[in-house]
Amino acid sequence: MRPEASRHLLAAAVLSTLGAITACSDPASPGDGSAIGDGAATDSGGDGGHADGGATGTPTWYQDIQPMMAEHCWTCHNASNDDAAFDFSDPAMAVELADWLNAKINGPDDEPPYQMPPFPLGDDEECDLGLPITGDLRMSAEDKALFQEWVDAGTPLGDADAAAPYDIPPPREMWGDRIEDLSPMSMTTRDGQKGDAYNCWSWDLGITDPEGAWLTGLRVNPDNLNIVHHAVIMADYSGRTAPAGGGDGKCPQPDDEVPDATMLATWAPGADPIILPTDAGMHFPPGTRLVSATHYHPNGTGQHDATNITLAWRDTPPAYEVVTLPLGAADPGENDVPNWEERPFHLAAGDDDYVNTWRDPHQHPDDKEFRIWGLFPHMHYAATSMRVTLEHEDGTATCIADVPVWEFDWQRTYEFDVPYDELPILQDGDTFAIRCGYNNSASNPLLAEKMEENGLEFQDISIGNGYLDEMCVLHAIIMQEYDGRFEREAAE
């Protein structure tokens, strides 16, 4: 691995699907409507603390469950968003589907989405740095147990007039000297059109200053959630995605190919925007274009989507520069290289438990301090888990991230929510050990679905760019004091 962040080019043919928004597949309905209204009221006191069942009484919707769901579910599952997901602010809906919800909460369920809320970072003590994570949706063990108790008790509603107060987490605000909306994407589907459709959109960011520009945030604003499903957002430093004649619009490539570009983020409904800390910025050199490889899921009726992207910029150089270290295996040339613990990478058809570890030694100049601000694990459909450990030169090791149940649809960036001085230090000489697990068999529902959709038999899988190839990728997002040197350009 080169010392500085480099443009390790991820040809992101990672275009693939979020599981179809399926009709509710007859989840068992516990106690049916009969549970409504017969709940025993409890005295949780409205302080946000939950009655702990047992001696004090049975948990009820209004006293215990509603505040929990408001905090962990309603940012996505609410009345205004119910074309993308169920409305769980409706108690009748939550009661009717309680067993199903419980399977997602206390799961993992064996059908995707495997777990809800969709924040698949593990809480294994061995792997917990004890740092808060921005936008953490995870439920505590107590909350999960309380939900189970509520289901076991027959989903009592409790007393609506004495409902405990609740908070829905507010969306995070973008910040910067300039906040701009890019021109919207424009996708039209036909009546009768179904299946998957992919499109690549490219924007001229208008960066002409030789010093470049400093990005502070990026947000996808979905328009028509009936068809827009998922997007991979990339920076194209080479300008190769420019449509004929320049300007904004469709990339010149066929629908499912994106020219080499560096991945910044993936978006799925409910995903958080990327918002850098207020003393930081990400440098874009002049001529950089923004690219979205957008996946649509036409639903059989003619629709139009005009999803757009909001960017935030700062006008002055930041105290800290944010750079991405693209680590791990992504290219076909990386199947038989010494970085793998077991060489070559060999994911045979039918193998339901293949684990291999990729190691990337890290170096940086003596006069620099690198701190880890965020981690973005990335794999495809055969993947089942990832665990990232920093191996230090003195023989000790620190586990920094664990994704015990990998789900393609819910990959996200994990950001440590602490000031620069409290972020974990990345030492010169540390090695990233990225342990990736896979299941290339029919017992992997996401992969089985993709195979069926494409009329394929299970086959040996190698590392590569196609969405049915595999990856074992980690983007380590680093913060360092900005000293007038642009690390990314310096690496070229």
Contacting positions for ligand HEC (CB under 6 A): 18-19, 21-22, 69, 72-73, 75-77, 84-85, 100-101, 104-105, 113, 116-118, 137, 269-270
> Minimum distance from CB of 195 to ligand HEC (Å)?
15
> Minimum distance from CB of 298 to ligand HEC (Å)?
15
Q: Toward ligand HEC, which CB reaches closer, 212 or 270?
A: 270
Q: Toward ligand HEC, which CB reaches closer, 171 or 350?
A: 171
> Any idea of the CA torsion for 152, 86, 409, 452, to the nearest 10 degrees?
90
> Minimum distance from CB of 272 to ligand HEC (Å)?
8
Asked whether the CA dihedral 486, 488, 491, 492 is positive or negative, the reply is negative
Taking the C-alpha atoms of residue 93 and residue 164, their distance in angstroms, rounded to an integer, is: 19
Contact in structure between 327 and 475 (CB atoms under 8 Å): yes
Question: Residue number with the shortest CB distance to ligand HEC?
Answer: 270
Q: Which of 199, 143, 148, 159 minimizes the C-alpha distance to 60?
A: 159
Q: Toward ligand HEC, which CB reaches closer, 107 or 424?
A: 107
Q: Toward ligand HEC, which CB reaches closer, 83 or 393?
A: 83
> Minimum distance from CB of 472 to ligand HEC (Å)?
24
Residue 476 burial (CB count, 10 A): 26
Residue 366, C-beta contacts closer than 8 angstroms, at least 6 positions apart:
428
Q: Toward ligand HEC, which CB reaches closer, 170 or 395?
A: 170
Q: Toward ligand HEC, which CB reaches closer, 35 or 101?
A: 101
> Minimum distance from CB of 288 to ligand HEC (Å)?
29
> Any idea of the CA torsion for 331, 332, 333, 339, to the nearest 10 degrees?
70
> Minimum distance from CB of 410 to ligand HEC (Å)?
8
**Residue 169, preceding peptide bond in cis (omega within 30° of 0):** no
Structure-token pair, residue 19: 């599981």
> Minimum distance from CB of 266 to ligand HEC (Å)?
13
Contact in structure between 83 and 23 (CB atoms under 8 Å): no
Q: Toward ligand HEC, which CB reaches closer, 236 or 407?
A: 407
Q: Toward ligand HEC, which CB reaches closer, 228 or 263?
A: 228
> Minimum distance from CB of 446 to ligand HEC (Å)?
11
Taking the C-alpha atoms of residue 471 and residue 436, their distance in angstroms, rounded to an integer, is: 9
Residue 432, C-beta contacts closer than 8 angstroms, at least 6 positions apart:
327, 328, 359, 360, 362, 388, 389, 390, 391, 474, 476
Q: Which of 77, 96, 105, 97 minimizes the C-alpha distance to 36?
A: 96
> Minimum distance from CB of 196 to ligand HEC (Å)?
13
Q: Toward ligand HEC, which CB reaches closer, 10 or 73?
A: 73
Taking the C-alpha atoms of residue 221 and residue 310, their distance in angstroms, rounded to an integer, is: 7
Asked whether the CA dihedral 37, 42, 44, 45 is positive or negative, the reply is positive
